[in-house]
């Protein structure tokens, strides 16, 4: 977005957008809640009086938030959750529209937090005494499952892989160990060698396509492949707003690529200017490798993802303009 579009966006909103882009706010669920919070702040701080101007201001805020990271579908889903209700509200006054944004943003945040708690409750039922669990990256939904299992007194151990290059596995380690869960950090390269001791794998999701494929942190599909080879159940814990409605109409999920400096240091890059680095930060796990997806509305097999999409988002909610075919093509 050009400077003009940013000029009247409040600093707090710009800071949230930057925090998402630079991964100080990360993880699909937190990104979605932060986006909703940013929209609420934007509405609260808006000082104009014209309802149409308010709408274009909120469109600009949406564009800014959507430009931060491309993969986690929770972000556009959160933004359109608010924008859809704003657009369908009667433009009585800016005060009224502001109230709509604030209420709907709060509603999304609350719904999201409840979903994570419900997934924890449902997912914890899959953990049995003596289980050894493996997880990849840092997922609030997976942490919720494991903490809930601990609350219920289940005795289990966790392997958290490091998740290079950004080491989100260390966040998982800290979260779980501070909760009294028996957790061991392993390098990503040790996944195959520990898998024979593992009973269940749990990972989160950034996006779920209508065919049940799961997009999550780079390395997830390798973990899934190894789990499949050793017949270890592979569970995905994901709120329903991680399902991508646009995949139902053929849109692909964009896999974010980040700076080479996340893989090797800037100094090293300067010394080796011709080095080529590829840093995709998510990958796609096909539905064949996924045992089940744990959502807040129940545990579903991956191939039923399209039903969740039509159930939760409604058949006509994908933002596709309805157009008849040209007259000459009509039958």
The residues binding ligand RUB (CB under 6 A) are: 26-30, 72, 137, 139-141, 168, 204-206, 216-217, 281
Q: Token pair of 177, please?
A: 């160990």
Measured from the CB atom, the residue of 200 and 217 that comes closer to ligand RUB is 217
HSE at residue 33, side-chain half, CA atoms within 13 A, is 16
Q: Are strands 156-161 and 131-135 parallel, antiparallel or unpaired?
A: parallel
**Active-site residue identified among 137, 161, 182, 188:** 137
Residues near 135 by beta carbon (within 8 Å), at least 6 away in sequence: 142, 146, 158, 159, 160, 161, 172, 201, 202, 203
Least separation, in Å, of the C-beta of 315 and ligand RUB? 26
> Which pairs count as long-range contacts for 272-277, CB under 8 Å and 24+ apart, including other chains?
none
Which residue, 136 or 150, has its beta carbon nearer to ligand RUB? 136
CB of 74 to ligand RUB, least distance (A): 7
Q: Please identify, using beta-carbon distances, which residue of 60 and 118 lies nearer to ligand RUB.
A: 118
β-bridge partners, 237: 294
Q: How far is CA 90 from CA 40, 65, 318, in A?
A: 18, 24, 22
Q: Are 145 and 124 in contact (CB under 8 A)?
A: yes
- Smallest separation (angstroms) from ligand RUB to the CB of 259: 13
Residue of minimal Cβ distance to ligand RUB: 204
HEC assignment per residue over 267-323? HHHHHCCCCCCCCECEEEECHHHCCEEEECCEEECHHHHHHHHHHHHCCCCCCCCCC
Minimum distance, C-beta of residue 256 to ligand RUB, in the bound complex (Å): 8
Across the strands, what pairs with 284?
215
Closer residue to ligand RUB in complex, CB, 280/319: 280
Which lies closer to ligand RUB via its Cβ, residue 72 or residue 246? 72
Separation CA 1–CA 105 (nearest Å): 23
Is residue 206 annotated as a catalytic residue, yes or no? yes
The set of catalytic residues is: 137, 206
């Amino acid at each position: 977005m050009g400077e003009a579009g940013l000029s009247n966006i409040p600093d707090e909103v710009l800071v949230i957008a930057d925090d998402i882009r630079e991964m100080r706010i990360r993880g699909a669920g937190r990104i979605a809640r932060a986006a909703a919070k940013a929209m609420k702040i934007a509405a609260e701080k808006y000082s104009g009086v014209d309802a149409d101007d308010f709408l274009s201001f909120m469109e600009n805020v949406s564009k800014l938030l959507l430009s931060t990271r491309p993969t986690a579908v929770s972000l556009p889903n959160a933004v359109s959750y608010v924008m859809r209700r704003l657009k369908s509200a009667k433009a009585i006054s800016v005060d009224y529209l502001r109230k709509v944004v604030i209420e709907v943003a709060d509603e999304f945040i609350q719904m999201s937090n409840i979903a994570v708690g419900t997934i924890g409750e449902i997912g914890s039922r899959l953990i049995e005494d003596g289980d050894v669990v493996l997880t990849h990256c840092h997922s609030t939904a997976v942490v919720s499952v494991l903490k809930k299992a601990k609350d219920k007194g289940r005795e289990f151990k966790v392997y958290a892989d490091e998740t290079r290059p950004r080491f989100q596995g260390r966040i998982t380690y800290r979260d779980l160990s501070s909760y009294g869960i028996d957790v061991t950090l392993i390098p990503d390269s040790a996944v195959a060698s520990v898998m024979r001791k593992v009973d269940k794998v749990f990972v989160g999701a950034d996006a779920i396509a209508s065919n049940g494929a799961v997009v999550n942190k780079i390395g997830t599909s390798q973990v899934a492949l190894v789990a499949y080879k050793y017949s270890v159940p592979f569970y995905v814990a994901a709120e329903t707003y991680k399902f991508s409605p646009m995949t139902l109409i053929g849109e692909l999920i964009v896999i974010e690529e980040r700076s080479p400096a996340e893989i090797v240091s800037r100094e090293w890059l300067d010394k080796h200017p011709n080095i080529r680095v590829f840093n995709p930060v998510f990958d796609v796990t096909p539905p064949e490798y996924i045992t089940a997806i744990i959502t807040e509305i129940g545990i579903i097999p991956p191939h039923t993802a399209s039903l969740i999409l039509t159930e939760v988002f409604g058949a006509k909610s994908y933002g596709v303009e309805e157009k008849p075919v040209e007259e000459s093509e009509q039958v």
